[in-house]
Amino acid sequence: MFKNILALKSLVLVLLMLSCFKTYAKEEQWYQVEVLVFENLDKAGLQESYPLNPGRPNVSAAKNLLDASKALSTGDETQNYIQVSNDALQLNDAKDKIQKQGSFRIILHKGWKQRITDKNLSDTLRLVGGKSYSSRGGSDIQQDDALGANADVKQSAYEVDGTIKISKSRYLHVDTDLILTKPMRVLSTAAGVQGSLNAGTSATFANVSNRNAWQQDANAKLQAFRLKQSIKMRSSDVQYIDHPMYGMLVTIKPEKKK
């Protein structure tokens, strides 16, 4: 009799666990996440000083966005972080308006689908885009969807490189750690020694006269500007993450349940 009761309790426990799992799976919410990164061409940002060596985001454990065509070819469309097509992006209108202003330049525009969970369980994603510096020449090779899914992209090889982590509790939380790399002329450092690369040293900069021939300028170097910021937001809102040299729009929209 006692054994039968234990067996019954075990069965009930298993059924409850299965019921909870089915409920979770049924109510699991997917989101479309979208980011738009753009450079600020206004020289007002150059009035500030910035760290010569701001450090770099840790991308060692970051996951890469998945190419949609590869997911379709394998028949697995339920994976996290599959990129959406350009015509499905929500910020295209904002992108057009930003471009028309003339004081900004679009660097990266990507969207993907993912499940969002507690911060302790959330993945860190890698964002890569912009012009290639792999040949140290600042060529106009544009970052595209295929590159976003490439786990072997060398850090700092492109204009924008870094991470984004999205989680939720009462609000949606977005943790960003990005680097914008661009050729700049070093005007002065806090120590007064031009070109000093000591950790913690800040400097003022000026734009190079020709981005495509910046190596010919003896005072020019590839300089990193770091944007490390955390925000909280509501779904379907558009939030702006700001840096004097560049900025990022982010929106997170719940997918309609099928």
Task: Look up residue 244 and give its two tokens.
Answer: 């004097």
**Is residue 249 in some structural domain?**
yes
**Whole-angstrom distance, CA of residue 203 vs CA of residue 225:** 11
| H or E stretch covering 202 | strand 202-207
**Whole-angstrom distance, CA of residue 143 vs CA of residue 19:** 45
Average pLDDT (16-22) is 45
Angle at 69 between CA 63 and CA 70, to 5 degrees: 55
**Whole-angstrom distance, CA of residue 147 vs CA of residue 134:** 13
The amino acid at 149: A
**Whole-angstrom distance, CA of residue 214 vs CA of residue 53:** 19
pLDDT at 88: 94
Give the range among 43-47, 101-105, 108-112, 191-195 with minimum mean pLDDT.
191-195
CA atoms lying within 13 Å on the CB side of residue 38 = 21
**Is residue 248 in some structural domain?**
yes
**Is residue 5 in some structural domain?**
no
pLDDT at 29: 87
DSSP state of 136: S
Q: Euclidean distance between the first and final Cα of the chain, in Å? A: 47
**Whole-angstrom distance, CA of residue 51 vs CA of residue 49:** 7
For residue 219, which of 209, 227, 229 has the smallest C-alpha distance?
209
DSSP track, 5-24: HHHHHHHHHHHHHHHHHHHH
Domain extent, residue 233, equals: 28-131+156-190+201-254
DSSP state of 106: E
Highest mean pLDDT among 74-83, 214-223, 240-249: 240-249
**Is residue 172 in some structural domain?**
yes
More confident residue, 8 or 229: 229
pTM over 0.85: no
Task: Look up residue 54 and give its two tokens.
Answer: 């701001």
Q: What is the CA radius of gyration of the chain?
A: 23
Task: Look up residue 41 and give its two tokens.
Answer: 């061409």
Domains: count for the chain = 1
**Is residue 124 in some structural domain?**
yes
Tens-place pLDDT, residues 26-56: 456 899 999 999 999 999 999 999 999 999 9
**Is residue 182 in some structural domain?**
yes
Average pLDDT (220-247) is 97
Average pLDDT (204-224) is 89
- 178 near 37, Cβ under 8 Å? yes
pLDDT at 225: 97
**Is residue 147 in some structural domain?**
no
For residue 235, which of 252, 250, 248 has the smallest C-alpha distance?
252
More confident residue, 211 or 71: 211
pLDDT at 111: 98
Tens-place pLDDT, residues 58-95: 999 999 999 887 766 555 556 899 999 999 999 999 99
**Is residue 170 in some structural domain?**
yes
Task: Look up residue 77 and give its two tokens.
Answer: 């469309």
For residue 36, which of 118, 100, 121, 104 has the smallest C-alpha distance?
104
